[in-house]
Structure 1
Amino acid sequence: MRRIRAVTAVVAVVGVMVLAGCGASGNDSATSGDAAPAPAAKQGSGSGESGSEESAGEANPQAPSAGKTDSGAGGGKEQPAITRAIIKTGSLTVEGDDVSGMRQKAVAAIAGLEGQVASEDTGSDSDGKITRSNLVLKVPTKSFETAIQRLSDLGKRLQIHQESTDVTEQVIDVASRIESQRASLDRMRALMAKANTIGEIVSVESELTRREADLESLLAKQKNLSLQTELATLTLTLTEKGKPPVETVKEPDKGFVAGLKGGWNAFTAAFSAIATAVGALLPFLVLLAIILVPLWRFRSKLRRQPAAVPVTGPPAAPNSGQ
């Protein structure tokens, strides 16, 4: 009986499992059958959306996308344009028959360009006729090329040299340092107003004086850069036909370069003086050496010879009879 019950129980369990499997497969098939139209509908809706987008794109082909609009709106602010600061210099040599006439025309041409003559070195012959002229001209930087062209038309151009130096970074750096220095001075003045003791007043006043001196130095540098960028320097050499050109007069060096050149010139001058003195004394030194060296050797030889020892006889024998 127990075996029959066990077999019956096993059969019942297997039957339940079979029925459950059939039910699950039926449900899956039903579900797949019911859900089959859904992806088609979804695909249909997607194609409809893409179709609407394509139609919208055809209707307005130049319409920017949202991303482009945002980037355009974000990049609407343009960066301020930086004006380049350029220092221009040059030299020009012109040859002609009438140096005096060329000089007058050159001065008039520069004045017409709102320029000026910074320095002049003009020479003439024994009859008073001007045969050479060297002019250092200052012209607006924007008119630099025009000035070269007009001056070249005065005669035959023999030599031309142009040079441009970009100092934009220096100009921006100096302007930034000036702004920072002024803000620092304002803070120091505020501290000066709050100082109570004499020690605090002296300390703040000393620092304030130092920073004011630094600001004045920066302002002077800014002014110098401004002048150099606004006015170009052009050295004009006018020479008579058939004669060598006049040597260009260079501006004297200043600052470290001038000090270095001065020190080198002093060193070479001192060395030249010492070398001259040694050269003048050398014959006398040779003569003294010729005289003194033999004397010194003779004296040394005398010192090496031993002194003469006196010769004494044998000692007297003692008197035995006494």
Structure 2
Amino acid sequence: MGRIRAVTAVLATAGIVLLSGCGASGNDSGTSEAAPAQKQGAEASDGSASNAKPQAPAQPQAGKSQASGTDDPTLTRAIIKTGSLTVEGDDVADMRQKAVLAIAGLDGQVSSEDTGSDPDGKVTRANLVLKVPTKSFETAVQRLSDLGKRLQIHQESTDVTEQVVDVASRIESQRASLERMRALMTKANTIAEIVSVESELTRRESDLEALLAKQKNLSLQTDLATLTLTLTEKGKPPVQTEPTQDKGFLAGLKGGWNAFTAVFSALATAVGAMLPFLVLLAIIAVPLWRFRHRLQRKQPTAGQ
């Protein structure tokens, strides 16, 4: 009996140990399985967060690129075109008539004209200054070149976009300045204040008118191109047009200098012509003057 109890106690102890080992292993396996699951969940959450981080600023960048694309407006360039063309043919009068019709067909006009003829009345040369729309400038050159044999052509383009934009900006600022001055005029109380504001208002209105005139001039130059057409008879050289005369301060300065040089040249010529006679007169007059001076000194001594 004692042995049976001892064996039973040993078996019971072994069973308890086995059961506790199985339970521990079950708990360990459960925790080991739960830990990777938690780790995967954490990695998944970290991965989603890491994936979300670079995508977050992507939308503002796209917005900026779209905004930059819409913020750059297309600016129309302001171009002044000028040129000259020389055409040779058998009948200058006929070429001139065709040239006028060709320019009229392009909504252009003849600004000025200078023609010449021979003793029989036949037109032998014609110089025309033509105004054509800038967009039709090349077409005008081509049509006029087809009138005869083209001898010479010159074209020039000047970009005045910055001037046009600058003048438009200054006009807007000047108009805003005038509005402020008119507002001050309504608040002026004393005569001195009224006179001061009116004087400044008049000055700014004058500046605005000057800017508007400049803007109109630029608009005319950019809208209409200038083409100088020279038509000459076949076998004869083209007649050069006389240069335009200067006006204003430079013209007065040039005329005054020419007058001064002309007067100086005339005086120098007169002095040069009289110089031989002056030398001869000096040769005769100097000894006579000395002789007379000696006589005047001797007369008092003789009286004593």
TM-score by length of 1: 0.71
Q: Deviations over 1:262-297 (max 9, x none)?
A: 312321222112311331243223312222245325
Q: What is aligned with 1:280?
A: 270
Q: What is aligned with 1:222?
A: 215
Where does structure 1 differ by over 3 angstroms across 4 or more consecutive aligned residues? Answer: 64-69, 248-254, 297-310
1:137-216 matches, cutoff 5 A: 137-216=130-209
State yes or no: 1:269 paired with 2:259.
yes
* In structure 2, distance between residues paired with 1:96 and 1:187: 63
* In structure 2, distance between residues paired with 1:106 and 1:145: 14
* Partner secondary structure for residue 189 of structure 1: helix
* Partner secondary structure for residue 80 of structure 2: strand
Q: Deviations over 1:142-165 (max 9, x none)?
A: 111111011111110000011111
1:302-321 matches, cutoff 5 A: none
The answer to which structure has the higher helix fraction is 2
Q: What is aligned with 1:105?
A: 98
* Partner secondary structure for residue 240 of structure 2: coil
* In structure 1, distance between residues paired with 2:182 and 2:217: 28
State yes or no: 1:78 paired with 2:68.
no
1:49 Cα shift? 3.6
RMSD, aligned CA: 3.2
1:221 Cα shift? 0.5
1:196 Cα shift? 1.3
Residue identity (%): 64
Q: What is aligned with 2:113?
A: 120
* In structure 2, distance between residues paired with 1:234 and 1:100: 19
Change beyond 3 A, Cα 1:65–1:93: farther
Q: What is aligned with 2:25?
A: none
**Contact map agreement 1:237 1:248 (CA 8 A) in 2:** no
Q: What is aligned with 1:234?
A: 227
Specify every segment of 5 or more residues in structure 2 that has no aligned partner in the other structure, as ranges: 1-34
Q: What is aligned with 1:248?
A: 241
**Contact map agreement 1:238 1:246 (CA 8 A) in 2:** no
TM-score by length of 2: 0.75
* In structure 1, distance between residues paired with 2:245 and 2:279: 50
Count of residues in correspondence between the two structures: 259
1:130 Cα shift? 1.0
Change beyond 3 A, Cα 1:163–1:66: farther
* In structure 2, distance between residues paired with 1:228 and 1:201: 41
State yes or no: 1:129 paired with 2:132.
no
1:211 Cα shift? 0.9
* Partner secondary structure for residue 284 of structure 1: helix
Specify every segment of 5 or more residues in structure 1 that has no aligned partner in the other structure, as ranges: 1-36, 57-63, 311-322
The more displaced of 88-97 and 241-250 is: 241-250
Q: What is aligned with 1:295?
A: 285
Change beyond 3 A, Cα 1:177–1:82: same
